[in-house]
Structure 1
Amino acid sequence: MYMRLFLIIAFFASLLTPAAAASDLTVFAAASLREAMERIASGYERETGTKVVFSFAGTGILARQIEAGAPADLFVSADADWMDYVAENGGVDPANVRQIASNALVLIGASETPVLSLGEAEIVDFLDDQRMAMADPDTVPAGRYGRAALENLGLWHAVAGRLAPMENVRIALASVARGDTPLGLVYRTDAEIEPDVAVLATIPGASHPEIRYLAAVTDVSSNPAAGSFLEYLTSTEAQEILQSLGFVTDKVE
């Protein structure tokens, strides 16, 4: 009797569960891609009717979650190292990886801050006893790019003790916008969406490894739309959106 009652309850519960949720496409993407990915997803949803659900965070955090078996259909990384890490741990097929864009680094301050040179003395004097915000150089792609740039520009030893490492680049951006830190090192695309910061200097691209945004379908995905959305990320429509937000692509002139 109890088993029969259980089966009846289970049957009616199944009728109340939204069927569409099973077909949603789950994308784990680097925090710096939020606006671009949301706009791209809107176009994809209009064309296909497939809903795209995002989880945005630092790439390293997302990579660890995928390694632990999180139910992501796609992984969009802000650098090659974390994508390689996920591939080496069975999270994605290396043959499936696509580059969708690149970016640049900039030094930012509050919107009224004057332009700075990238000289050691000027930056140290400007910081005084305050800190410079940047993504954690030990775990976050933006931080790793930033550390490489500061080392190659001869600035690392001067600012290493004055850093405020953040969980991801958007938190570093917010820290400068709120006035918590006077300087920050972020992606150019981050600075362009925040009206309360100004670009004080552009970091030379030759001073750090190429900033590569890579996407791949995860090995745990069984969603038939995953491959379709991966291809859509390199479509003219998607690439135009990326370019409009300041990303660099090689698909659209």
Structure 2
Amino acid sequence: MTIRRLAPALATALALAPALARADEVVVFAAASLADALAEIETGFEAATGHDLVVSLAGSSALARQIQQGAPADVFISASPDWMDAVEADGLVEAGTRIDLLGNDLVLVAAGADAAPVDIGPGLDLAGLLGDGRLAMALVDSVPAGIYGRAALESLGLWDGVAAQVAQADNVRAALAFVSAGEAPLGIVYATDAVAEDDVTVVGTFPADSHPPIVYAAADLATREIAEEAEFLDYLQGPEARAAFERQGFAVLVP
């Protein structure tokens, strides 16, 4: 599988070159938090079908905008229903193919392997825990993990006390990297991202009612008609993909 971290230059190249996608190749634009699960799923899908899978990973907002600008993607997996809504509103989703695929949790992580747990609620002294340090988050106005994180902090009455200390990253994996590298003492990421790093500790899970439900939506895009797109969406809902998602800590929402 080719997994691409979707840099701006690559995104532009994809948008300008729709002929890059071969007939037997499925091009998937997927939220960065799906990196490890999709790495597992690639092996099984290619072995089962003989098709090539090309995955571009980035924040869902960046991917949605590239799709709207004509990037040659076949399948979109968004960490937020809102960005799938935006793509669908532009007529870029094949009718009847959209599914709610996965759920996730939002957690507070700390640098190091032995950080003490905290009780996440209105009484949490998050500013005190940060001290002079930064709180790593994905972009709070556009990237789903950042939007969910800000919503959680606002609902708990904690946002105003730490907003000036937030270090925003292009996507949730980049926010996690800030913490694992020791550049930020704390960060807000998905639970599934936290397990991918040995150098961070989950110190608390945000209450489910403190933010909108975290739902990953997947759909076939109305860019070209190939049978391989439907095969991949079917595979995402099958037992092999379910096992891969669950190993990474996702809640699988499809029956």
> Aligned with 1:219: secondary structure?
coil
Q: Supply the distance in 2 between the matched residues of 1:247 and 1:29 (Cα, whole angstroms).
A: 15
Q: Supply the distance in 1 between the matched residues of 2:151 and 2:101 (Cα, whole angstroms).
A: 22
Q: Over the residues paired in the alignment, what is the CA RMSD in angstroms?
A: 1.7
- Are 2:234 and 1:203 equivalent residues in the alignment? no
> Aligned with 2:57: secondary structure?
strand
Q: Supply the distance in 2 between the matched residues of 1:28 and 1:20 (Cα, whole angstroms).
A: 13
Query: CA contact under 8 A between 1:133 and 1:176: conserved in structure 2?
Result: yes
Query: CA contact under 8 A between 1:30 and 1:56: conserved in structure 2?
Result: yes
Matches within 5 A, 1:35-114: 35-93=36-94, 95-110=96-111, 111-114=113-116
115, 118, 124: which one aligns with 1:116: 118
- Are 2:234 and 1:231 equivalent residues in the alignment? yes
Matches within 5 A, 1:116-135: 116-118=118-120, 122-135=125-138
> Aligned with 1:55: secondary structure?
strand
1:196-234 per-residue CA deviation (whole Å, 9 max, x = no partner) reads 000011111111111111111111123320011011111
Aligned amino acid, residue 192 of structure 2: T
Moved more, 134-143 or 113-122: 113-122
Residue equivalent to 1:244: 247
Query: CA contact under 8 A between 1:116 and 1:122: conserved in structure 2?
Result: no
Q: CA deviation at 1:250?
A: 3.9
Q: CA deviation at 1:91?
A: 1.6
Aligned amino acid, residue 168 of structure 2: P
Q: CA deviation at 1:43?
A: 0.6
- Are 2:184 and 1:169 equivalent residues in the alignment? no
Counting matched residue pairs gives 234
Query: CA contact under 8 A between 1:97 and 1:215: conserved in structure 2?
Result: yes
> Aligned with 2:251: secondary structure?
coil
Query: CA contact under 8 A between 2:108 and 2:186: conserved in structure 1?
Result: yes
Q: CA deviation at 1:236?
A: 1.6
Residue equivalent to 1:26: 27
Query: CA contact under 8 A between 1:136 and 1:166: conserved in structure 2?
Result: yes
Residue equivalent to 2:12: none
Query: CA contact under 8 A between 1:236 and 1:251: conserved in structure 2?
Result: no
> Aligned with 2:137: secondary structure?
strand
Query: CA contact under 8 A between 2:80 and 2:217: conserved in structure 1?
Result: yes
Instruction: Name stretches of at least 5 consecutive residues in structure 1 with no aligned partner.
Output: 1-18
Query: CA contact under 8 A between 1:233 and 1:239: conserved in structure 2?
Result: yes
Q: CA deviation at 1:175?
A: 0.3
Aligned amino acid, residue 98 of structure 2: V
Higher share of residues assigned helix:
1
Q: Supply the distance in 1 between the matched residues of 2:177 and 2:163 (Cα, whole angstroms).
A: 20
Matches within 5 A, 1:116-155: 116-118=118-120, 122-155=125-158
Query: CA contact under 8 A between 1:239 and 1:251: conserved in structure 2?
Result: no
In the superposition, the TM-score normalised over structure 2's length comes to 0.88
**Percent of aligned pairs with the same amino acid:** 45
Given the superposition, is the C-alpha separation of residues 85 and 197 from structure 1 closer, same or farther in structure 2, using an over 3 Å criterion? same
Runs of 4+ in structure 1 over 6 Å off: none
Query: CA contact under 8 A between 2:100 and 2:253: conserved in structure 1?
Result: no
Query: CA contact under 8 A between 2:61 and 2:83: conserved in structure 1?
Result: yes
